[in-house]
Amino acid sequence: MIYSFQLFHRLLSLFVVIIIKSSSSVLAQSQYEVKTCLTVPWESCIPQPSTNPIRYQTQPVTGVCEDTVDQAGSLSFVDITLPPNEVLYVEVTTNVVGQENVGADNFYIRPSRLTESWGTPSVIGNVASFYIADTGQFSVEFAASNIWKELTPTLNFNALMLFINPPMNDIPVDATLIGNDFNDIQREDGVLQRTLESGSKHYFAADIAYDWGEDMVFHVLDNTEIYFEDNSYVRARFIQTKQKIDNVVISGYGVLDNNYPPTEYDIPGSTDDGSRQAIHLLGKNIHISGLTIVNTFSECGEFGYALNVNANWSPMAATYPANDVFEAGELQNGNPPYSSNRPAHCQENNMDDTPNLDFSNCPSSQDDGAKVSFVKAISWQMGQDGINVGRFGTVADSFVRVVDDAIKPWDSGARYERITIWQLGLGWPINLGWWGWTQNDVDTVVENIYLIHNQNWMTSNDWPTTKSGQCVVGGIYGSSSIKRNYRINNVFVETACSCAIGLEINKAAFSRHLTPEGCVGSILDMSITNLFFDEEFINAGTRTNNFLRGERNPGAECVGDYKGEISNLVISGDVNGRALTESDFVIPKRYTNTVPGITFHSVDTNPSPTSNPSKIPTNAPYTFNPTKLPTQSPVKTTSPPSSPPSKNPTAPSVSPS
């Protein structure tokens, strides 16, 4: 679907339904109404309609397309600002047929783990009211939990997400407005492009429709700052793979839409159409915050990460002969030797395993690694992955809803923290790697992950074409990187899920990068602990199970850490009140030697999420975490209007409208 969101914004207060380039569908106002007001814990106020538009999406791909995995339904979402030391009182009205009269027992604000201590919602008819006492991304669901075990209602669910954001500062006064005209835009390699000068500051305005009618690529250089006004909507991409950049900011509560198909196949460094990523940058001190990144391709089979920084599987753009342009297909069912014309950016080695000699503008610690916060990644077909933040990068307080792998902890020293994931019908929520080039990959931490839905049980029985299905954590590891000392901790899974861990190492993985000797790296000393599942695993086929296996047939030269073992893995989990144990796993007896030293522990005393929140909020003031505020805070926001609060010691209530 292609909608004029600026027009929608102007007409929102009139509750006008408009349809643009669509034979059916309505805008979000007819699906949900959201009212909010600011108060202090736990006093009431009179909620008013959201001052920000409720965006609306349905499956953008038309016709029959297996890449959509039959995902239909709709997604409505809205950005709302929550200042420190206040709470939001929220009233949501659903106009979706079948969502009325569900009652409080079948109403959820997910992640429940975060919201249950804020009081029991009041649900009367088609209206629910509740408190939100912290920033984050919250799914408001008028539906029973058991629907997520059923194919049809899951594929056709009409969803509402509330993106609750911290305030940001004003856009710098010396930032230059980017227009929607063709000034400063060149057509190069068949694609519209503009390079934003080094040291420049720019912003996109909310009242301008940024749509050039075809693919538009912005290139960024050192010390570039790009800001999105609240509610701005931009159909474009941000690419810099010709060089490694330093000190770049892309920030604001706007929408970046990767909407148009390529006009040519791929020119690395110029259009990067082969991988179709919305944001693809190389370098250090890269800060990205606030954006909602969507992919509204209407054609089938179009790839495109939402956000990729310092990808460990792709080269820095080089001067390629016409018949030797890099494409990801070289690492799919491909074996060494690899092309010598694939230079590394920040990887330790080039693609052909010769050493990288240039680490300028490469992050060397958490201090100068990429920082991503309050970003939301949304897509509707496979091949459109979520977020990879690269070596020493950090992703925090963000949201991913995709039909492919959600987060990609594939590099040393990375941090993935406080992330809410809605996994659609294919992919791993936490994918441990495919085809990374040869280097050490150590000490990454993935912690406090809220998996509100994990729909990959739909396809896990048939894909991938190996023994392991798709679980919460795992992958078919075909990388020559040695992965060591990863820590995955506190993963909270709320609804239907077929398995916890599906991990195998395989030198014949479809997506792979092997050493010159044909070896795959081992995964050593990893811990995957405190996995909490609110429900027992569901059986959706013969291969929807927990699975572990290392490389079965390492070559004679593949010794030591290149034997492809899963060694000294520590696991702990709780499945609906029982311990996750080795009996939950398929570890083929013939290959137990490929998984040496596996141990199972009890979960920590931190309890699993409960389905019944406390009846009334605690009287103690809520403690806010100041570290959750973005380090870059450039954009003006408008908070919902509030009325003077009145004392209300009980949970919020509302009368039907």
In angstroms, rounded to a whole number, what is the distance separating the alpha carbons of residues 384 and 377?
Answer: 10
Q: Considering only residues 549 and 540, tell me which one the structure prediction assigns the higher pLDDT.
A: 549
Question: How many other C-beta atoms are found inside a 10 Å radius of the C-beta of residue 87?
Answer: 23
What percentage of residues in the chain have a pLDDT greater than 70? 86
Question: How many other C-beta atoms are found inside a 10 Å radius of the C-beta of residue 536?
Answer: 12
pLDDT in the model for residue 614:
32
CB 464, CB 420: distance < 8 Å: no
Looking at residue 154, the DSSP 8-state letter turns out to be H
Q: To which residue do tokens 């799914």 refer?
A: 139
In angstroms, rounded to a whole number, what is the distance separating the alpha carbons of residues 259 and 302?
Answer: 10
What percentage of residues in the chain have a pLDDT greater than 90? 74
pLDDT band at 460 (very low <50, low <70, confident <90, very high): confident
**pLDDT at residue 372 greater than cutoff 90:** yes
**pLDDT at residue 10 greater than cutoff 50:** no
- The per-residue b/e assignment along 363-375, b for 16 or more CB within 10 angstroms, e otherwise, is beeeebbbbbbbb
Contacts of residue 407, Cβ cutoff 8 Å, sequence gap at least 6: 386, 387, 388, 395, 400, 416, 419, 421, 429, 430, 431, 446, 449
Domain ranges of the chain: 5-167+610-628, 168-297+304-322+331-394, 427-608
Residue 274's region, left for phi above 0, alpha for psi from -120 to 50, else beta, is: alpha
In angstroms, rounded to a whole number, what is the distance separating the alpha carbons of residues 511 and 427?
Answer: 14
Angle at 294 between CA 290 and CA 299, to 5 degrees: 170
CB 220, CB 226: distance < 8 Å: yes
Q: Considering only residues 318 and 275, tell me which one the structure prediction assigns the higher pLDDT.
A: 318
CB 372, CB 350: distance < 8 Å: no
**Is the bond leading into 172 cis (omega within 30 degrees of zero)?**
no
What is the assigned CATH class of domain 5-167+610-628? mainly beta
pLDDT band at 618 (very low <50, low <70, confident <90, very high): very low
Looking at residue 328, the DSSP 8-state letter turns out to be G
Instruction: Tell me how far the alpha carbon of residue 208 is from its chain's centroid.
Output: 27
In angstroms, rounded to a whole number, what is the distance separating the alpha carbons of residues 571 and 471?
Answer: 14
**pLDDT at residue 12 greater than cutoff 90:** no
CB 316, CB 343: distance < 8 Å: yes
Would you call 349 exposed, middle or buried from its count of C-beta atoms within 10 A (0-12, 13-18, 19+)?
middle
pLDDT in the model for residue 638:
32
